[in-house]
Amino acid sequence: MKNLIQDNYEKGIDVSKWQGNVKWNEIKNEGVKHAFIKMTEGGTYTDPQFVANWNAAKKAGMNVGAYHYFRGASSTPKEQAENIRKNLDSIPFDTKRDLFAIDVEKSSNESVSPDVMADNLQDLLTQIKRDILPNFNVIIYCSPDYWDSGVNYKKYDFSVHRLWVANWNVEKPRLPKSWDKPGTSWFWWQYSSKGHVSGIQGAVDLDWIKTPSTPNRCCSIL
């Protein structure tokens, strides 16, 4: 299975301020072609390393995406949309090339009900598509365990968004319920939270990515 994955998908990582001073040229030289970089969280927070990481990763020739950590209730969807808009304006974001994801996790959302998580997430996604990135395919990051229990996924068709699934230490990722149906699969797979690559001191998240050369890039099942 490991060789099958390596033969069919490309290497990626995702980083935030916790990775410190990232040496992007070293990462690229190790064969990592893709990176998601934390940009924002909630209605006010900007990762202090975001712009530096974005510009350096781009300069190194990486394929780059930005992600926003979703707060289900402590910030309104409108506040979060404004935070996203402001920070996307701080970089040369290319809607034809770059990626953008909403990170949906349990941490900081423990007290938020599944209904509120679903309603406010859908509200934020609607605002992004309407006001910030028209006709752009926003990606949703989530784990199957939290998504299936912490978000009322039945209220909306979240499967219209590409999936960045977090499922560690398994040979094949388990799909969250919204995407667990024929013809739907993952786009990015975060398969480890304790990886190591040249250019980063300490642990980093590791990902596999389906690329245009992967048959049916959004719909093939591993």
The mean per-residue pLDDT over the stretch 8-29 comes to 97
Instruction: Please determine, for residue 101, whether its predicted confidence score (pLDDT) is greater than 60.
Output: yes
In this prediction, residue 6 carries a pLDDT of 61
pLDDT at residue number 211 = 80
pLDDT for residue 112 is more than 50: yes
DSSP helix, strand, coil percent of the chain (3-state; round to 5): 35, 25, 45
Higher pLDDT, residue 4 or 74 = 74
Q: Which two tokens stand for residue 197?
A: 């690559």
pLDDT at 154 (0 to 100): 98
pLDDT, averaged across the chain? 93
Residue type, 87: N
The pLDDT value given to residue 212 = 62
Sign of the alpha-carbon dihedral angle for 58, 43, 193, 136:
negative
Tally helices (H) and strands (E) across the chain.
Answer: 6, 9
> Rounded mean pLDDT of 193-212?
94
In this prediction, residue 220 carries a pLDDT of: 31
pLDDT at 219: 33
Element (H, E) at 207: strand 204-209
The rounded percent of the chain whose pLDDT value lies above 90 is 90
